[in-house]
Amino acid sequence: MLQLQRIRENKDALVEALTKRNIDAKAMLNGVLLLDEKRRGLQAELDNTLAESNKLSKEIGMLYKSGKADKANVLKEKTTELKETAKLLADELNDTTDELDRMLYQIPNIPHESVPAGNSEEDNEEVFRAGEVPQLSDNALPHWELAKKYGLIDFELGVKVTGSGFPIYKGKGAKLQRALISYFLDKNTEAGYLEVQPPLLVNEASGFGTGQLPDKEGQMYHIKRDDLYLIPTAEVPITNMLRDEILAETDFPVKLTGYTPCFRREAGSYGAHVRGLNRLHQFDKVEIVRVEHPDNSYKALNEMVEHVKTLLNELQLPYRILRLCGGDLGFTSALTYDFEVFSTAQDRWLEISSVSNFEAYQANRLKLRYKDKNGKNQLAHTLNGSALALPRLLAGILENYQTDAGIKIPEVLVPYCGFSSIE
């Protein structure tokens, strides 16, 4: 969330910056400042009340020692009144602080100056494109037909076992899925990321820490009895590993990677654009997370983008990179690059990765700090990206590598899956 000091000092500039998100934030920010003023007033009043109570307590002790019990008892009545006042003030202060936090949680991150204005994905800016779109035969099939033809993925059996959006991978389909996960993890660790295997369930504090709560509450699967959430992305548990930590400047950069299944409700709809692997409730993804010194976070973002480009170049898939506009930017992100692979059989682009810099927005929620050279605590910057999300990437591989004789396997994956084609 945004820092109060930043809002106090730059309110008008922040209101202007949030117009890129098509938000008129003036009323919200004014409300925050009014509550903050009330909170600070209550804190000062409480501090003064407690200080007076402590002062009288010392006087009472001295009066008793000097045999002036009557005067001491009069002051005791006064301290009792002060303690009751302090309790009322503390309760009001807690309520005001909670309300202030709730208001701050409703304000999205400030877009980076390079974020283009726009209302939707139609206004995103293409910044890079690579790879050649293959020329397929007239009888080329979309991935859901290929999966059925070659026995790779059983969507109907997944519906039987669980429901729509929970496919079952079989045979070479399962092996190809496992090969992709291993390949991505190997490439990430070679690039200096420490591999971790995080939990698939997180508590409410973790959801608030990375910004999934309260913004995406309806998209997360909630286990009410234990008050735990199935993770929508490995970003949540991995980033929260550093919640409430104070790092040294020498600890930067913190680079972590992990594979997890991901779970998202995501309201379904009908049509080819959500068929097969295009939209799932459970899917596999390999994530990269970085915690950086603020001075280095945008250099780190560029490094992450280049790393994901390397993966797609080695897979020899046609892809493009988009800089998201303000209207399509995620709630917690300051700048996001989306990677999309071209699905030749569907004749459209499929999103397979988002690489984002959250600046200090998540760190403020997480209380993730570092000590600067002067020994003062400062907020770190957090970043994350998919490297990579599997479902649509697998769809792109199946469709772009299909031939009349079968499906070729990208050369870089052959050592991982143990076969070079699906026939």
Q: Does 119 belong to an annotated binding site?
A: no
Looking at residue 326, its amino acid is: G
316 closest CA partner among 392, 184, 413: 413
Is residue 216 within 8 A of residue 232, CB to CB? The reply is yes
Residues 136, 343 contacting (CB under 8 angstroms): no
> Which candidate, 128, 167, 188, places its Cα nearest to that of 388?
188
114 appears as a binding residue in the annotation: no
Position 346, amino acid = Q
Q: 298-304 long-range contacts, Cβ below 8 Å, gap at least 24?
A: 298/335, 298/357, 300/253, 300/357, 300/383, 301/335, 301/337, 301/355, 301/356, 301/357, 301/383, 304/355, 304/383, 304/385, 304/387
129 belongs to an annotated ligand binding site: no
Half-sphere exposure of 379 (CA within 13 A, CB side): 17
Check the annotation: does 266 bind a ligand: yes
Picking from 264, 209, 213, the residue whose alpha carbon sits closest to that of residue 238 is 209
Residue 375 main-chain phi, psi, to 5 deg = 80, 10
> Does 352 count as an annotated binding residue?
yes
DSSP 54-72: HHHHHHHHHHHHTT-HHHH
Helix residue ranges, H only, 150-203? 155-161, 172-190
* 384 annotated to bind ligand: yes
Token pair recorded at residue 311: 């993966």
Q: Of 224, 169, 178, 218, nearest to 201 (Cα)?
A: 224
Q: Which residue has the tokens 């991935």?
A: 143
Q: What angle do CA 181, 187, 192 make, to 5 degrees?
A: 125
CA separation for the pair 85, 144 (Å, rounded)? 68
Q: Which residues are annotated as a binding site?
A: 233, 264-266, 287, 351-354, 384
Q: Which residues line the annotated binding site for L-serine?
A: 233, 264, 287, 384
Binding residues for ATP: 264-266, 351-354
